[in-house]
Amino acid sequence: MPISLILPHRATPGHFLNSRGFGLVEVVVAIGITVMVLIGSITAARVALRRSSEQVNQIRATFLVEEGIEAMRVLRDNGWSANIAGLATSTNLYLVYDGLSWSATTTLQANSEGLFERIFVLSDVFRGADDDITQSGGTWDPETKLARMDVSWRGRRGTSTVNASTYLANLFAD
């Protein structure tokens, strides 16, 4: 049986140059891929941060709308005749909190953050023959108002607004 010897591979004179060049190409490709992944990750992080900032403002505005609706209910509960009945309808109105109580004014009020503007508008309510609220016609109901609360702010995409509406009625007949 013949015996064969496995001899180490003998390199040709250009072999080391070719393998070194191939290693350099691999390094350049790896660096390029790494740079593209890093740029993509940074871009995705920036977009996510911007969107989360927009979401924070959306949530804060929603809370301000809810607070405004509750403030309107407090005004109603503290006296319909004194706080609601005398307010102009179809006019921009603003809420003021002096540390003790809420009031309404026609003067623009800056909030503590300077970012949001909260406006409310009261509208007259009309009732049909069945005493249900109607969108057109009917009889004016001086004991009910439609209150619309808007909170707006300027963002990167322009002005955004969150709003809500509710009916206020003279529950305590004062």
Cite the beta strand spans of the chain per DSSP E.
Answer: 94-97, 102-105, 116-127, 133-134, 139-155, 158-169
On whether the CB atoms of residues 147 and 168 are closer than 8 A, the answer is yes
- DSSP character string of 35-92: HHHHHHHHHHHHHHHHHHHHHHHHHHHHHHHHHHHHHHHHHHHT-HIIIIITSPTTS-
CA–CA separation, 136 vs 35, rounded Å?
A: 64
Residues 6+ apart with CB under 8 A from 171: 76, 77
The torsion angle over the Cα atoms of residues 60, 151, 52 and 46, rounded to 10 degrees, is -140
CA distance linking residue 3 with residue 72, whole number of Å: 103
Which amino acid does the sequence have at 28?
V
Is pLDDT at 4 greater than 80 in this prediction?
no
Does the model's pTM come out above 0.75? no
Q: Which two tokens stand for residue 47?
A: 């977009």
Q: What is the pLDDT of residues 31-82, one digit of tens each?
A: 999 999 999 889 888 888 877 778 899 999 999 999 999 999 999 999 999 9
CB 137 within 8 A of CB 123: no
Lowest model confidence (mean pLDDT) among 18-32, 51-65, 72-86, 135-149: 18-32
Give me the amino acid identity at 68: G
Residue 116 pairs with which residues in a beta bridge? 153
Overall average pLDDT of the 116-139 stretch: 92
